Structure 1
Amino acid sequence: MYIESNDPEGAKVYDMIIRQIFQDLVLPPSIDDMKAYVNPNEVCFIIAIKMRKTSQHITLKEVANVDYNAEDDTTVVIIDNENYLPNILKRLWEINGRENVHQPSRYVIHLPGEKNVSDLVVDDPHENLKRRIYDAVFRIVPEGFKIMKDMSEGDIVCIVATDELIKDEWVEKAKGYMVELNTPKTWD
């Protein structure tokens, strides 16, 4: 973790704030590295965070059996792993509408008609982690810095924030941080 600033005391304070927010959100095990730039004179804040690799997403067919009952013209989903039940319901509601998802019992869901939902992603650890990191970033960004540019790519969440117009030099600095975070470390 590296914080660049023209104000050494301010950098120490930001280091403490970032560490505390990461601890509160239980993020340290999920983060490989982080770089930040704080410059009160230019009213600029940049943060780039490299996420650790996560497990693969989970599809419906991995946690449930999906069959079409032609007699009733109903797709029947039988849940094998109830840990994913809230996610399954949420995703099915998003796609089919809440009124078209019927749950006659805890582990059984009926959908009208023949639905191809076996490959539906019901849990994506990468997106879940990214959401938690964005939550942390929005807590870390200084109050009043409402103008933000999201430069995130792949496993890196990167934000440039200010209360003025974003300067090209800040965008270039953020790009530099992203390159550094993506460059494997070599030990001499």
Structure 2
Amino acid sequence: MYIESNDPEGAKVYDMIIRQIFQDLVLPPSIDDMRAYVNPDEVCFIIAIKMRKTSKHITLKEVANVNYNAEEDTTVVLIDDEKYLPNILRTLWENNGRENVHQPSRYVIHLAGEQEVSNLVVDDPHKNLKRRIYDAVFRIVPEGFKIMKDISRGDIISVIATDELIKDEWIEKAEGYIVELNTPKTWD
């Protein structure tokens, strides 16, 4: 973790703020590295965070049995792993509409007609981690910095924030942080 600033005391304060927010959101085990730039003279804040690799996504067929009942013209989803039930319901509601998803009992879901839902992603750890890191970034950005530019790529979340127009040199600095975080460390 590295914080660049023309104000050494301000950098220490931001280091403390960032560490505290990361702790509050239980992010340290999920972050490989981070760079930040704070310049109160230019009213600029840049942050780039490299996420650690996450486990692969979970599909419906991994946590439930899906069968078509031709007599009733219904796709039946039998839940095997209850911890995914809220995600399963949310995903089916998003894809089919809430009114088309019926749950006659805790572990059984009915969908009208024959539907291919086995490969629906019901849990995506990478997406969930990304959401939590963005939450941290929005808590870290100084209050009043309403102009933001997201230049995130792959496993790196990078945001430039200011209350002025974003300068090209800030974008270049953020791009530099992305390159730096993507460069494997070598130990001589």
What letter matches 1:139 in structure 2? R
Quote the residue 2:17 is aligned against. Answer: 17
Quote the residue 1:78 is aligned against. Answer: 78
User: Quick one: distance in 2 between partners of 1:98 and 1:37?
Assistant: 45
Q: Aligned pair 1:151/2:151, yes or no?
A: yes
User: Quick one: distance in 2 between partners of 1:153 and 1:124?
Assistant: 17
Structure 2: tracts of 5 or more residues without a match: none
Q: Aligned pair 1:106/2:112, yes or no?
A: no
What letter matches 1:26 in structure 2? V
Q: For residues 95-150 of structure 1, give each alpha carbon's deviation from its aligned partner in whole angstroms, at most 9, with x where no partner exists.
A: 11111100011100000001110000000000000000000000000000000000
**SS, match of residue 177 in structure 1:** helix
Deviation of 1:80 (Å): 0.4
Quote the residue 1:171 is aligned against. Answer: 171
**SS, match of residue 184 in structure 1:** coil
User: Quick one: distance in 2 between partners of 1:57 and 1:180?
Assistant: 28
User: Quick one: distance in 2 between partners of 1:29 and 1:123?
Assistant: 19
TM-score (norm 1): 1.00
Which 4+ stretches in 1 moved above 4 angstroms? none
Q: How many residues align?
A: 188
Deviation of 1:94 (Å): 0.6
Q: For residues 19-67 of structure 1, give each alpha carbon's deviation from its aligned partner in whole angstroms, at most 9, with x where no partner exists.
A: 0000000000000000000000000000000000000000000000001
Deviation of 1:168 (Å): 0.4
Cα RMSD of the aligned pairs, angstroms, is: 0.3
Alignment of structure 1 residues 56-135 onto 2, 5 Å? 56-135=56-135
User: Quick one: distance in 1 between partners of 2:152 and 2:57?
Assistant: 20
**SS, match of residue 4 in structure 2:** strand
Structure 1: tracts of 5 or more residues without a match: none
